């Protein structure tokens, strides 16, 4: 049986919203397809949130200002974060949803997040657009901008071939490759804003703690190793193998033409 979720009733307009802490969203009870996530709302910090809602009955745009999730759904928040309800009631949404120890390490002590890729540690610094390999001086590392071609939007990750010997994105003539590259691996890592939201904010001129409720804050990540047969490369290899006889025929023809030229 589906768990019954708390209901927030706006005191000014009487509109009811389902409070879903698993998704951190408000859904209009009468029209559940109408929903507002953290990204849709203005964060009023301890006062709660504000979002603009189009009321189908009155045909008006209304300003809705619900309290914090810890106020509206303390039991659900306690379950989500494995804390006692009494403890939840003493915290703000920000204090609960954002790792405060990690925040201190990142903001006050300047500690950069790390991500392990292929067994090596990289420092993630979104402010300077760089994944920098630890204790390696031969390369600056991998630029986030260079990973944009490998961004997978629906998963919010970069999925890319990685060269563990040179600590860089694996480079190949992908339109000619016929087998899995044995010197490369295929990995997935989170998007730059997820890896280093504080650095991302600094780079864009925003407040350091902007949007941390949405992204969360972690200081250690590990790349997911993706088997080549699940990377999408099989289709490329199959297509290249079909083209191979044509390429060979073209090369043979070019060699014959060159021989004729030399005889003349």
Determine the pLDDT at residue 264: 47
Each residue's pLDDT expressed in tens, for the chain with a length of 264 residues: 457 999 999 999 999 999 999 999 999 999 999 999 999 999 999 999 999 999 888 889 999 999 999 999 999 999 999 999 999 999 999 999 999 999 999 999 999 999 999 999 999 999 999 999 999 988 999 999 999 999 999 999 999 999 999 999 998 888 888 899 999 999 999 999 999 999 999 999 999 999 999 999 999 999 999 999 999 898 888 888 887 765 554 455 555 556 555 554
Residues 35 and 122 in one domain: no
Residues 117 and 189 in one domain: yes
Is 256 within the bounds of a domain? Answer: no
The full DSSP string for the chain is -PPPPPEEE-TTT--EEEEETTTTEEEESS-TT-EEEGGGSEE-GGG-EEEEEEETTTTEEEEE----HHHH-HHHHHHHHT--HHHHTTS-HHHHHS-HHHHHHHHTS-PPPEEEETTEEEEEEGGGTEEEETT--S---EEHHHHGGGEETTTTEEEEEEETTTTEE----TTT--S--TT-EEEEEE-HHHH-HHHHHHHTT--TTTTHHHH---SEEEPEEE-GGGTTHHHHHHHHHHHHHHHHHHHHHHHHHHHHHHH-
Is 133 within the bounds of a domain? Answer: yes
Residues 113 and 26 in one domain: no
Is 238 within the bounds of a domain? Answer: no
Determine the pLDDT at residue 2: 52
Determine the pLDDT at residue 89: 93
Is 49 within the bounds of a domain? Answer: yes
Domain total in the chain: 2
Is 114 within the bounds of a domain? Answer: yes
Residues 14 and 87 in one domain: yes
Residues 41 and 117 in one domain: no
Residues 214 and 134 in one domain: yes
Residues 13 and 47 in one domain: yes
Domain enclosing residue 70, as ranges:
7-93
């Amino acid at each position: 049986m589906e768990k019954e979720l708390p209901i927030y009733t706006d005191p000014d307009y009487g509109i009811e919203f389902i409070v879903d802490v698993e998704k951190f969203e408000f859904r209009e009870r009468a029209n559940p397809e109408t929903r507002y996530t953290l990204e849709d709302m203005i964060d009023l910090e301890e006062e709660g949130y504000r979002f603009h809602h189009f009321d189908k009955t009155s045909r008006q745009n209304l300003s809705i200002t619900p309290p914090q999730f810890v106020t509206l759904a303390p039991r659900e928040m306690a379950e989500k974060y494995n804390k006692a309800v009494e403890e939840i009631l003493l915290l703000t949404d920000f204090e609960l949803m954002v790792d405060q120890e990690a925040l201190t390490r990142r903001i006050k002590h300047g500690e950069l997040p790390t991500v392990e890729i292929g067994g090596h540690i990289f420092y993630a610094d979104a402010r300077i657009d760089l994944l920098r390999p630890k204790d390696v001086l031969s390369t600056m590392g991998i630029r986030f901008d260079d990973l944009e071609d490998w961004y997978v939007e629906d998963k919010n990750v970069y999925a890319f071939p990685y060269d563990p010997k040179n600590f860089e994105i694996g480079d190949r003539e992908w339109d000619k490759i016929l087998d899995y590259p044995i010197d490369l691996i295929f990995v997935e890592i989170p998007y730059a804003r997820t890896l280093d939201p504080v650095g991302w904010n600094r780079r864009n001129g925003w407040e350091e703690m902007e949007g941390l409720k949405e992204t969360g804050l972690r200081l250690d990540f590990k790349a997911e190793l993706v088997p080549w047969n699940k990377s999408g490369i099989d289709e490329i290899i199959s297509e290249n193998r079909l083209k191979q006889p044509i390429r060979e025929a073209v090369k043979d023809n070019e060699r014959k033409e060159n021989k004729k030229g030399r005889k003349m």
